[in-house]
Amino acid sequence: MFTGIVEEVGQVRARARAATSTRLEVASRVVVDDAVLGSSIAVNGACLTVVELTDAGFVADVVAETLARTNLGRLEVGDAVNLERPLRADGRFGGHIVQGHVDATAEVRAVRRDGDGGATLEVALPADLRPFVLEKGSVALDGVSLTVAAVGDDWLRIALIPHTLAVTTFGARRGHDVVNVEADYVAKVVANLGTVAIAAGGAR
């Protein structure tokens, strides 16, 4: 489990495509400090397994399912990525529950900078995720825990503070970029329980 508090911005050093998967080598310093083979690291919000440690960082295999559901297949050598280690049992819960299981990708519709160094981000919202995205609720975009400032039928809006722009990849995001979206886990659980309860009641 992750919290959406990015620990560092890494850089793609190499990418090798196989028949149905891709192997990524990512330059990093912080998240490999205590990593071992088999460790989990969230890359742009997608939980990946470390299959090799290098002098510069780590290597992970990205399977077809992950490539289909995330923006990792779009990464090029030199691209920046948000990185986070799983939450330790004795760690601070600074963001919200993030599983590292990306639901979908979405296009950035607009990035509007403000006079205080922050920005407003508007992102297209996939229709099947709309029930789980609430105003003032939480959402993870590219692995970053963010608060929903406003939401419409097919969009959501985020207010980004200068610190977030400085320590994540969002400082370089532009219109038409594609980001990973993971809806709030608690919202999905509550919605599922409601569906089950309704189905059970109708079956009586």
The domains found in the chain, sorted by start residue, are: 8-84 (2.40.30.20), 104-191 (2.40.30.20)
Using one digit for the tens of pLDDT, what is the confidence trace for 29-61? 999 999 999 999 999 999 999 999 999 999 999
- Please determine, for residue 63, whether its predicted confidence score (pLDDT) is greater than 90: yes
Mean pLDDT computed over 68-92: 94
- DSSP for 12-36 reads EEEEEE-SS-EEEEEE-SSTTTT--
Q: Is the pLDDT of residue 204 over 60?
A: no
Question: Which region holds residue 78: left if phi is over 0, alpha if psi is between -120 and 50, else beta?
Answer: left
Residues 187, 141: contact at Cβ < 8 Å?
Answer: no
Sign of the dihedral defined by the CA atoms of residues 138, 167, 48, 85, in that order: negative
pTM greater than 0.85 (yes/no): yes
**Signed CA dihedral, 103, 100, 173, 96: sign only:** positive
* Banded pLDDT at 88 (limits 50, 70, 90): confident
CA distances from 182 to 98, 133, 166 (A): 8, 10, 22
Bridge partner residues of 50 (DSSP): 60
